[in-house]
Structure formats: structure tokens, C-alpha cells
């Protein structure tokens, strides 16, 4: 019976292999278990000792990665209304840094969520959590008079949280140090103009 | 080609279009009945459309082939619906923007099922993927052009044009896909409002 420790060791080798293989246009859906295991330096058979299929593997690892990525969102969620552009950018940068190690896995999660209910649930669970935190933040800001009452807290939170999650995973430019800065400027601006710049 | 040859080919193309329409309708029906895209197979779709599997393969290579043909036909229509937004001028109001985005939202919603199927097919079919990405890229290019023109004319804020367009596009695309499966119709107005506020504040009313 494979132990949790040995499964963890396997995962530890699989994730970097996944990272190396999921570059550019390559999709997780097209990636074969044989290819993944070869990249990780292991036999295909070993995969099946621990996991029934690719979706089962993603289901196993998605939660931890999602939760880890979420911890780096705390600085954004704790910014008050009236926070400066620089403060918002710093918080977004922290989110991006927290997200970066999980990028390949997040893309795999995103893909698998389209056909696996378990993965979809894990993803939506965390997205809902992130949206709820942002919604609370907006409501507090509106109550304090720091944030514009003209935006709907709940729906705006869903749009912005979805934008951040989708962009960090799908925008290849975020993975490239040269293009990253301009992309962080752009998204920090969108968030600041929408949430933080204050009432009219 | 002889007149007779041309007529035969035209008749065949028309027949292909009819069958494709029936197949696409069947895909939409099966999806509406809750069948996941992965289970929407050639057999099921052909059966629902009332044609044999053999007949399907006379006209199409596989499901991706059906979706790709449809996509080529519909991308023109979808591209046109983004134009009101990208043609927004200095004197445009937030209401004008909302109306423009509403047109876009409605069109994408009309085709939500097939766009979802296309997106899913793109995950395992490089040709479909290239076509889909190319379509998205054209929208990003058009939005970038609009932003740069607006900046030159002084009604759009100073910001990184292309990168902003990419973030707004990734947001709109992901939300459109989510709303296709999740959002209740009464939520659509709220979603449109939120989308409008984000775009308005970022591009046209920025500080």
C-alpha cells in the first residue's frame, strides 16, 4: 500500500516535471502520463500505483497549491480604501510572486476543471473564498466612505478575482521577467481604479 | 470546372451546411440537457441529428472539424459585436459603453454552448487551439488600437495599452465562460454593470 510519504515524494518530482513540460502553448490535456513520468525520470507504471488518472493526480495536489496561492493575497485583501497606487502594486506583486511557483499546476487545474467535478469544486471553492474576502473588503470600504458606493461589492469582487486568477495562470507574459513588470503595472492599475481610488 | 461539376459541388456544400447546422443544434441540445462536453461524441451527436455515423464521416473528419467550421462562420459575427466598444469616441458616456458591452455580452451568450465546446476542444486539438487563440488575439489587438487612439485623442488615460487590453480580455473571456455555465439570467444585468464599471473607471474615467 503506497504511503502518504511516498506519494508526496512522487508529487515532489512530478510538479517540476509538469512545470518544464507546460511551457507556451502546450496543454495539460494533451500531455500523456508516459511523457510526464519520463520527464520526471520514473516509469509510467509508478504513476498508476498512486493515481487512477491525470484528473485524480490534479485532485490530490490542487487544494494545497490553491491554498498556498491564496495566502499571498492577504496583503491585497487587507488594504483599506484610499490605498495608494504604489501600495496596490506592491500587494499585487506579492500575489504574483505567491502564484508563480504554482503556475503550471494552476493551468492544469483550470483545464481539468472543465471535465472533472472534483477539481472544479476545489477551484471554485477557493475562487469563492477569494471573491468573498474581496467583497467584504469593498463593503467595509464603502461603509467607511473610502470606496465608491457606485460599485456592487459582490459582483465586482467576482470579476476582479476571476481576472487575477485567470491572468496569473494564462498570461504567458507573467512568467517572463521582462514582460512581467508592465503586466503588473496594468493589472494593479485596473484594481486601483476600480476599488481604491475613492468616491467621485 | 463544368457547369454540372460546379452545381454538384454547390449542392454538396449546401448539404454539408445543412448537416453541420443540424449537428451544431444537437451539440447545443445535448449540452443543455447536462451532458458534459467530453461525452458529446460523434455517435451521440449524429444520432440526435438523425444522421448515420457513416454519413457524418462523409462530410467531417471529427467533432473538432464541425466546431472549427462553425467557429470560422461565427467569428466574423462575434468580431462585429465588439466594434461598438472599440469605436467609442471622446464624447461617449458610461451608458454608451454599457450599451456597447451589452451587445457583446448578448452575442457571446447566444453562442455560449458552442464557444465552451470550442474552448474544451482546443485543449486537445492544436488546430482548433490556434484558431481560438488567433480570434482572441485579434480582439486584443483591436482593443489595444482603440486604447492607443484614445490616448492620442486624450480621452483614454495614460496606462500600458497592450497589457491592459490583455488583462481586460482575459477577464472578459473567463467570465463569459463561467457565466455560460453558472450565472442566472437575472444576474446578467449585475454582471454587465460590474464589467462596465471596471472598463469605464480604468480607461475613460481614470484618475
For an interface test with A, give the residue of B35, B94, B170 to mutate (most A CBs within 10 A): B170
A24 touches chain B (CB under 8 A): no
pTM of structure: 0.90
Task: Tell me which residues of chain A, numbers 34 to 73, contact chain B at a CB-CB cutoff of 8 Å.
Answer: none
Nearest-Å Rg of the Cα atoms of chain B is 20
For residue B189, pLDDT over 80 is answered with: yes
pLDDT the model gives residue B102? 95
Q: CA–CA separation, B177 vs A53, rounded Å?
A: 26
**Cα(B34)–Cα(B23) distance, integer angstroms:** 17
Q: Is B73 in CB contact (< 8 Å) with chain A?
A: no
Chain A positions touching B123 (Cβ under 8 A) are 27-30, 111, 114
Task: Determine the pLDDT at residue A175.
Answer: 85
Q: Is A130 exposed, middle or buried (0-12, 13-18, 19+ CB in 10 A)?
A: buried
**For chain B, where are the E strands, in sequence order?**
none
Q: Considering only CB atoms, which chain A residues are within 8 Å of B119?
A: 114
Using N-to-C axis directions, what is the helix angle for B112-122 and B94-110, rounded to 10°?
70
Select the residue of B36, B163, B187 nearest A186 (Cβ to Cβ): B163
Distance (Å, whole) CA A198 – CA A192: 9
Contact yes or no for A150 and B197 at CB 8 A: yes
Minimum-distance CB partner of A183 among B37, B163, B194? B163
**Count of CB pairs separated by less than 8 Å, A with B:** 106
ipTM of the prediction greater than 0.90, yes or no? yes
Mean pLDDT by 10 residues, chain A (200 residues): 85 92 88 96 95 94 93 96 96 96 93 92 96 98 95 97 95 89 97 91
B4 has pLDDT over 80: no
Instruction: Kindly report the nearest CA distance between residue A42 and chain B, in angstroms.
Output: 24
**pLDDT score for B1:** 64
| B14-55: pLDDT as tens digits | 888 888 889 988 988 888 888 877 788 899 999 999 999 999
Integer CA distances (angstroms), A105 to A65, A88, B169, in order: 8, 26, 22
Mean pLDDT, chain B, whole residue set: 90
For residue B162, what pLDDT is reported? 97
pLDDT-derived band at B12, boundaries 50, 70, 90: confident
Note whether A189 contacts B202, CB cutoff 8 Å. Answer: yes
Amino acid at each position: 500500500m503506497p504511503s502518504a510519504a511516498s506519494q508526496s515524494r512522487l508529487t515532489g518530482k512530478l510538479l517540476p516535471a509538469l512545470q518544464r513540460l507546460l511551457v507556451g502553448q502546450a496543454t495539460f490535456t494533451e500531455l500523456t502520463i508516459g511523457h510526464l513520468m519520463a520527464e520526471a525520470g520514473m516509469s509510467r507504471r509508478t504513476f498508476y500505483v498512486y493515481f487512477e488518472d491525470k484528473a485524480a493526480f490534479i485532485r490530490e495536489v490542487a487544494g494545497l497549491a490553491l491554498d498556498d496561492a491564496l495566502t499571498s493575497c492577504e496583503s491585497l485583501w487587507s488594504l483599506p480604501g484610499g490605498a495608494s497606487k504604489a501600495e496596490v502594486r506592491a500587494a499585487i506583486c506579492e500575489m504574483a510572486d505567491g502564484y508563480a511557483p504554482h503556475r503550471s499546476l494552476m493551468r492544469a487545474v483550470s483545464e481539468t476543471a472543465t471535465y472533472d467535478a472534483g477539481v472544479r469544486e476545489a477551484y471554485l471553492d477557493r475562487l469563492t473564498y477569494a471573491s468573498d474576502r474581496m467583497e467584504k473588503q469593498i463593503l467595509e470600504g464603502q461603509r467607511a466612505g473610502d470606496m465608491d458606493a457606485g460599485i456592487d461589492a459582490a459582483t465586482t469582487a467576482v470579476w476582479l478575482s476571476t481576472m487575477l486568477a485567470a491572468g496569473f495562470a494564462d498570461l504567458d507574459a507573467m512568467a517572463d521577467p521582462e514582460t512581467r513588470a508592465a503586466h503588473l503595472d496594468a493589472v494593479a492599475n485596473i484594481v486601483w481604479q476600480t476599488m481604491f481610488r475613492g468616491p467621485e | 470546372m463544368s457547369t454540372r461539376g460546379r452545381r454538384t459541388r454547390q449542392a454538396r456544400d449546401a448539404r454539408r451546411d445543412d448537416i453541420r447546422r443540424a449537428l451544431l443544434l444537437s451539440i447545443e441540445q445535448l449540452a443543455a440537457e447536462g451532458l458534459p462536453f467530453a461525452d458529446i461524441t460523434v455517435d451521440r451527436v449524429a444520432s440526435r441529428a438523425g444522421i448515420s455515423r457513416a454519413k457524418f464521416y462523409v462530410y467531417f473528419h471529427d467533432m473538432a472539424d464541425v466546431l472549427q467550421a462553425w467557429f470560422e462562420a461565427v467569428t466574423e459575427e462575434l468580431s462585429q459585436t465588439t466594434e461598438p466598444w472599440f469605436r467609442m469616441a471622446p464624447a461617449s458616456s458610461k451608458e454608451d459603453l454599457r450599451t456597447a458591452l451589452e451587445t457583446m455580452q448578448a452575442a457571446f451568450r447566444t453562442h455560449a454552448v458552442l464557444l465552451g465546446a470550442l474552448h474544451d476542444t482546443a485543449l486537445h486539438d492544436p488546430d482548433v487551439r490556434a484558431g481560438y487563440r488567433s480570434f482572441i488575439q485579434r480582439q486584443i489587438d483591436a482593443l489595444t488600437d482603440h486604447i492607443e487612439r484614445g490616448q492620442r485623442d486624450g480621452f483614454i488615460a495614460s496606462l500600458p495599452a497592450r497589457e491592459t487590453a490583455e488583462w481586460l480580455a482575459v477577464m472578459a473571456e473567463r467570465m463569459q465562460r463561467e457565466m455560460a455555465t453558472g450565472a442566472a439570467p437575472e444576474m446578467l444585468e449585475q454582471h454587465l454593470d460590474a464589467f462596465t464599471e471596471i472598463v469605464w473607471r480604468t480607461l475613460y474615467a481614470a484618475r
